[in-house]
Amino acid sequence: MSWKKSLPFFAWQSVRYAQNWAHFKQIWSFYGQWSASFSQGRNSVSDESAWITFPARAYLEQHVRTDFRVFEFGGGGSTLFFCKKAAEVITVEDNADWFEILSNIVQSKNYQHWQGFFVAPEPLPDGPARSHENPADFKSGSPNLGNLSFERYARTINPFPEAFFDLILVDGRARPSCIQQALPHLKPGGLLVIDNTERPYYLAPFKALFETQFSTELHLYAPVPYTPDFTRTTILKKG
């Protein structure tokens, strides 16, 4: 199937996920961009843009300022986007090969305000079974990573001061654990961006906190560039 020509598929997905008429029209407005994203050679790195839903990308284009300090759990096209827009960008990655590729790309563009950390997972210690849904367990939901701990990875943000970052992107491993570690380091008024929140266990542990201490800027199913997927990116603002 050619996704570039799949207007009926896009229409069906738009109807399936639309919450109301306004949401449907918003989704539909991205059809042209979604179709064009399948052009040969295009991806989030070549486009220097985050691999998140189109509405979330549009929101970041409008709201990321040149004085922002940004922290990313998981890097890629988002790293290049933030390097173009923000004053300081910190990225942590768990894959050595991808970290080397990303580092070389950033260096080739001569971005001096980026700092990258490669932090590999470690074997889980013996003890009680751990759950990827528990932020205190530092465990990934990926089956092939189930016996690994991402505690050092998630805690990479901890040496930075509290209320230091204007934006934190959670788009890597053990996301509930990363959210828990990130929260103290986000400024009042800062943005917490969490990708793939159609997986309810990402947000569930923080439901009461998010309802009382954050406002929801974006929480919609929408198309994602370069893939046929409709997913959900959530953007929260700290009160």
Q: How far apart are CA 99 and CA 117, in angstroms?
A: 8
Query: In this predicted structure, what is the pLDDT of residue 125?
Result: 82
CA distance readout (Å), 207 to 92, 140, 191, 213, 226: 25, 20, 16, 10, 31
Strand partners, 238: 214
Element at 50 (helix H, strand E): none
Q: Options 3.90.110.10, 3.40.50.1000, 3.90.420.10, 3.40.50.150; which CATH number does 56-221+233-238 get?
A: 3.40.50.150
DSSP 8-class letter at 119: -
SS3 state of residue 9: helix
Rama region for 163: left / alpha / beta (φ>0; ψ in -120 to 50; rest) = left
- Domain extent listing, the chain: 56-221+233-238
Structure tokens at 6: 């799949």
Query: In this predicted structure, what is the pLDDT of residue 113?
Result: 97
Q: Where are any strands of DSSP class E within 61-202?
A: 69-73, 88-93, 114-118, 122-123, 148-149, 165-170, 186-195
pLDDT tens for the chain, 239 residues: list them.
455 558 888 998 999 999 999 999 999 999 999 999 999 999 999 999 999 999 999 999 999 999 999 999 999 999 999 999 999 999 999 999 999 999 999 999 999 999 999 999 999 888 888 999 999 999 999 988 889 999 999 999 999 999 999 999 999 999 999 999 999 999 999 999 999 999 999 999 999 999 999 999 999 999 999 999 899 999 999 99
Burial profile 79-103: b = 16 or more Cβ within 10 angstroms, e = fewer: bbbbbebbebbbbbbbbeeebeebb
Rama region for 172: left / alpha / beta (φ>0; ψ in -120 to 50; rest) = beta
Query: In this predicted structure, what is the pLDDT of residue 79?
Result: 98
Q: How far apart are CA 157 and CA 151, in angstroms?
A: 11
Q: Where are any strands of DSSP class E within the chain?
A: 69-73, 88-93, 114-118, 122-123, 148-149, 165-170, 186-195, 214-223, 230-238
Collect all residues with Cβ–Cβ distance below 8 Å to 93 and sequence separation of at least 6. 74, 75, 99, 102, 116, 117, 118, 119, 172
